[in-house]
Amino acid sequence: MPDDMAKSTQNKIVVSGFRHVFETDDGPVQATDRVDLSIRAGEFVTLVGPSGCGKTTLLKALAGFIRPTEGSILCDGATVLGPGRDRGVVFQELAILPWRTVRRNIGHGLEIARVPRAAREATVGRLIELTGLAGFEERYPHELSGGMRQRVAVARTWAADPDVILMDEPFAAVDAMTRLTLQEELVRLCGATGKTVFFITHSVDEAVFLADRVLVMTRRPGRIKAAIDVPGRAAGRDWESFKIDSAMQAIVEQVLRLVREERGATAPAASAAVTK
Ligand SMILES: Nc1ncnc2c1ncn2[C@@H]1O[C@H](COP(=O)(O)OP(=O)(O)O)[C@@H](O)[C@H]1O
Ligand SMILES: [Mg+2]
């Protein structure tokens, strides 16, 4: 097999038996329970599950912000020991700097990494185009809508060119109409840049729309309960066709059922029944 072909099919991220316990004043809180998952290079994986089931905990461990209580997290075959340039993060809360213009926010990481000005401007210019921010380069965050600001956050993460992008409900605070546009743009951006993406959402529609594969987590302590393949992302997606595509809508229904089982499940017996 040629080198680059082997590369495109290999696992970028491998999580094995990831268990995390937070020590709190009220005693230990077990957030996750033996999470196993692999993400292939270039794959877009979304994660859904009930609130408080451990999704953000898993993302933070992938980012290297927290260390597993048990189990291991590998990126490119090496144990994740802390944050790294190979992994970029986009959170729901805006993480852009109010005193910097759009252009200088997007280029911020590159300035810190001392990328020469010409290369920096080329990258920033390309991302401004790709994220629909053309014409807004010299604006400050307070002069932008919420959707525009989130585009800046996305562009800034992409600018640093990490292999892996970790996104935690990045569009949750954006109004519903803008969200649809941002989701379509994200599909295009990922198509153009081939990143490996791990994306958390509480919207099942969003999870299926964006993904090559949707993971469903159980209620806390979270485990991966199911993985559902979603064909055809490479060909691009738009909401108009997605909504009338019966195969896609069947997947949405399937994921909804799996998530609802976890929301409804309270007794251990119920949880055993849904893991079959
Ligand atoms: N820093 C922390 N200290 C103590 N408990 C935490 C901390 N972060 C998360 N938790 C707890 O861990 C569980 C999982 O949280 P989280 O991963 O944020 O869930 P999700 O993102 O799925 O909503 C919750 O019960 C939450 O209260
Ligand atoms: Mg969360």
Task: Dump pLDDT digits (tens) for 11-35.
Answer: 999 999 999 999 999 999 999 999 9
Task: Dump pLDDT digits (tens) for 183-236.
Answer: 999 999 998 889 999 999 999 999 999 999 999 999 999 999 999 999 999 899
Kindly calculate the radius of gyration of the chain based on its CA atoms and give it in whole angstroms.
19
How far does residue 58's CA lie from ligand 2's centre (Å)?
Answer: 9
Report pLDDT for 267.
45
Range of the domain at 137: 95-161
CA 178 to chain centre: 18
Q: Percent helix, strand and coil across the chain, each rounded to 5?
A: 40, 25, 35
Ligand nearest the Cα of residue 18 is: 1
Which residues are near ligand 1 (CB < 6 Å)? 22, 24, 29, 31, 49, 51-57, 220
- Nearest atom within ligand 1 for CA of residue 168: 21
What CATH number does the domain containing 29 carry?
Answer: 3.40.50.300
Check: CB of residue 38 under 8 Å from CB of residue 92: no
The structure's pTM equals: 0.90
Q: Does residue 267 lie within any of the structural domains?
A: no
Ligand nearest the Cα of residue 92 is: 2
Give the type of residue at 83.
Answer: P
Tell which of 109, 135, 161 closes a domain.
161
- Nearest atom within ligand 1 for CA of residue 217: 22
* Residue 178 to residue 247: CA distance in whole angstroms: 25
Same structural domain, 81 and 208: yes
CA angle 152, 154, 159 (to 5 degrees): 90
* Residue 214 to residue 106: CA distance in whole angstroms: 29
Report pLDDT for 265.
60
Q: Does residue 105 lie within any of the structural domains?
A: yes
Q: Does residue 150 lie within any of the structural domains?
A: yes
Q: Does residue 257 lie within any of the structural domains?
A: no
- Closest-CA residue, ligand 1 atom 14, reads 54
